[in-house]
Chain A
């Protein structure tokens, strides 16, 4: 029974925590080019929210609107009771870690980190102490006197973090901060960033195009497509109950089953199962791991037979593609199944999650 509708899932956010930032119907156009349309999003205190999207989806523009480097064409941004979108960037209690860090090349590491405190005219003793603490937190104390050009990418990343966090912002914005790092360092930094966020306890808004990164780090993911929010949910929910075909395909692998619902029965490519959805055309997402090979004999299973046409090794599991007479299903299996083999497949009706179509947008 597929009773859980996507809209019900969407509202399951970190409702327990008070809202910190509220983006209300924000739109942005550059000339005739619509970059963002009608974005509404609430970010809770202490939350790790990831804005996930392909390049050109508008995710960086949204971040820049929060930071104040772009102004929204319409809509509002509020932080608590204060209207943020009318304020210049330097009056917002928000700090940014830039994609290529944007460290000041003419200043040393410690001068970079102390920059915000110096322009805020904090006493010298306080600056020295807070800078030292911040550098210690990111393990860069030994490089305090170095120039940014003399340290590695990963180290620059840490300095950029320290430079932002030393100002004790209410929210940290991160614009694809890991994209310049190699895969190993990247995974390591994902863990470090996540634990740093727990430690400092402020909200992180993290922009990335990497769905795996988003899954690993986030409390919630806001999936952006062509300037519109496709779905906002926890990684678990967005994976298990994708709202749209695009969400289902962008995050993990999936099978999209296109069919028709008539009188409580769903029918897709000759497969039939009971559903409570209203009549009409329907689209279902079925994850590869929800399709089992063999025949368990369970009465609730939907069964189909097919021929293995492709097999790919993915470490712990394998992904095979099975041609079931016009319908090609991707199936995750624990053991190796040779191509050309004829096999039986089955799945449970509730694992076929109804999703909305994702029409092409320009």
Chain B
């Protein structure tokens, strides 16, 4: 009798749990589902559920040159930002992990600051910097304009150094230092040890950082908004068009971006599972997602 009571309590509890979970997931993913459905909706936006399906919006999108220009601009910026932030972020992580120098605590905070700094502040301050006489002169000499994709790239690249540093620093903390000692012991000098032992062990952290930087740069809007020149990035292009009302092509391009992100995340996840035991992978994924959400 008592047993049955507990069973009943359990099942009602689990029913609540299912309902709660469903509600949370619906809240998270329903908007995306609506977006995807609309991208195939014959009526464009409005008229839910759709009466007839179509690929027209994708066809229109395909011939929309300014959208594709903005996609390529965003890709250019994202790859360049990735290169900049890794070039500076990885050495910073190494310094934080192994060197001892005066002002290390301050250095660490300064490196991590952009992570919590609002994009508006970063964007505004960069804009002010690029307005300074000689900086502006240099920019004009390089690109012919004061603000351009270059300024956006510089903005993203510097703001995202913190992401590269934190990711790689976490990887370094997990690295067994004895491995590097073993390598030195076996006759490899510091440089050989770094390339043959340290980097392969950090491979996952570096790829993780690169993917994260890439996605963050791809959908960045606040900093870009301040630094934009004549060429639009994709988020700004979408934003610009939205001011004239939602158009179905935007749903189509958003669906493509969504699928692209999904593939990226799955790729990264599988890489991690293969590299490690899998137990902590879930946690890492959550961390990364919450980082993206920021």
A137-163 vs B, Cβ < 8 Å mask (1 yes, 0 no): 000000000000000000000000001
The smallest beta-carbon distance between A203 and chain B, in angstroms, is 16
CB pair B184 A105 closer than 8 Å: no
Residues of chain B within 8 A of A90, CB atoms compared:
184-189
B178-200 vs A, Cβ < 8 Å mask (1 yes, 0 no): 11011111111110100011001
Residues of chain A within 8 A of B190, CB atoms compared:
88
CB pair B178 A100 closer than 8 Å: yes
Q: How far, in angstroms, from A98 to B178 measured CA to CA in the complex? A: 8
Please give me the residue from chain A that is nearest to B178 by CB atom.
A102
State which of B184, B189, B197, B203 has its C-beta within 8 Å of the C-beta of A104. B197
B231-243 vs A, Cβ < 8 Å mask (1 yes, 0 no): 0000000000000
CB pair A167 B186 closer than 8 Å: yes
- What interface size band does chain A fall in? 20 to 34
A323-335 vs B, Cβ < 8 Å mask (1 yes, 0 no): 0000000000000
CB pair A119 B178 closer than 8 Å: no
Residues of chain B within 8 A of A116, CB atoms compared:
186-188
Q: How far, in angstroms, from A115 to B179 measured CA to CA in the complex? A: 12
Does B65 make an interface contact (CB < 8 A)? no
Residues of chain B within 8 A of A67, CB atoms compared:
181, 185
CB pair B201 A88 closer than 8 Å: no
CB pair A102 B186 closer than 8 Å: no
CB neighbors of B among A49-107 (8 A): 67-69, 88-90, 94-96, 98-100, 102-106
Does B2 make an interface contact (CB < 8 A)? no
Please give me the residue from chain B that is nearest to A149 by CB atom.
B277
Residues of chain B within 8 A of A120, CB atoms compared:
187
CB pair A96 B185 closer than 8 Å: yes
Please give me the residue from chain B that is nearest to A120 by CB atom.
B187
The smallest beta-carbon distance between B268 and chain A, in angstroms, is 18
Q: How far, in angstroms, from A96 to B178 measured CA to CA in the complex? A: 11
Q: How far, in angstroms, from A90 to B196 measured CA to CA in the complex? A: 14
CB pair B185 A104 closer than 8 Å: no
Q: How far, in angstroms, from A103 to B192 measured CA to CA in the complex? A: 16
Does B280 make an interface contact (CB < 8 A)? no
Q: How far, in angstroms, from A100 to B179 measured CA to CA in the complex? A: 10
- What interface size band does chain B fall in? 10 to 19
CB pair A102 B176 closer than 8 Å: yes
State which of B182, B189, B201 has its C-beta within 8 Å of the C-beta of A106. B201
Residue with the greatest number of chain A CB neighbours at <10 A, chosen from B179, B181, B186, B201:
B186
Residues of chain A within 8 A of B197, CB atoms compared:
104
Q: How far, in angstroms, from A104 to B200 measured CA to CA in the complex? A: 10
The smallest beta-carbon distance between A51 and chain B, in angstroms, is 17
Given A119-B192, A119-B196, the answer on whether A102 and B187 have CB atoms closer than 8 Å is no
Please give me the residue from chain A that is nearest to B200 by CB atom.
A106
Residue with the greatest number of chain A CB neighbours at <10 A, chosen from B179, B181, B187, B196:
B187
State which of B178, B186, B196 has its C-beta within 8 Å of the C-beta of A95. B186
Residues of chain B within 8 A of A167, CB atoms compared:
186-187
Residues of chain A within 8 A of B186, CB atoms compared:
90, 95, 115-116, 119, 163-164, 167
A95-136 vs B, Cβ < 8 Å mask (1 yes, 0 no): 110111011111000000001100110000000000000000
Please give me the residue from chain B that is nearest to A96 by CB atom.
B185
Please give me the residue from chain B that is nearest to A160 by CB atom.
B182
CB pair B188 A96 closer than 8 Å: no
Residues of chain A within 8 A of B201, CB atoms compared:
105-106
State which of B182, B192, B196, B200 has its C-beta within 8 Å of the C-beta of A102. B182
The smallest beta-carbon distance between A180 and chain B, in angstroms, is 13
Residues of chain B within 8 A of A100, CB atoms compared:
178
Residues of chain A within 8 A of B200, CB atoms compared:
106
Q: How far, in angstroms, from A100 to B176 measured CA to CA in the complex? A: 10
The smallest beta-carbon distance between B24 and chain A, in angstroms, is 37
Q: How far, in angstroms, from A88 to B191 measured CA to CA in the complex? A: 13
The smallest beta-carbon distance between A160 and chain B, in angstroms, is 8
Please give me the residue from chain A that is nearest to B180 by CB atom.
A102
Q: How far, in angstroms, from A103 to B190 measured CA to CA in the complex? A: 18
Please give me the residue from chain B that is nearest to A69 by CB atom.
B181
Residue with the greatest number of chain B CB neighbours at <10 A, chosen from A88, A89, A103, A106:
A89
Q: Given A90-B184, A119-B187, A163-B182, list of 20 further CB < 8 A pairs? A: A67-B185, A68-B185, A69-B184, A88-B189, A89-B181, A90-B186, A90-B188, A96-B181, A96-B185, A102-B178, A102-B181, A102-B182, A104-B197, A105-B179, A106-B201, A116-B187, A116-B188, A119-B186, A164-B186, A167-B186
Closest 5 CB pairs between A and B? A116-B186, A102-B178, A102-B182, A89-B184, A119-B188
What are 12 A-to-B residue pairs whose CB atoms are below 8 Å?
A: A67-B181, A68-B184, A90-B187, A96-B182, A99-B178, A104-B179, A104-B183, A105-B201, A106-B200, A115-B186, A119-B192, A164-B185
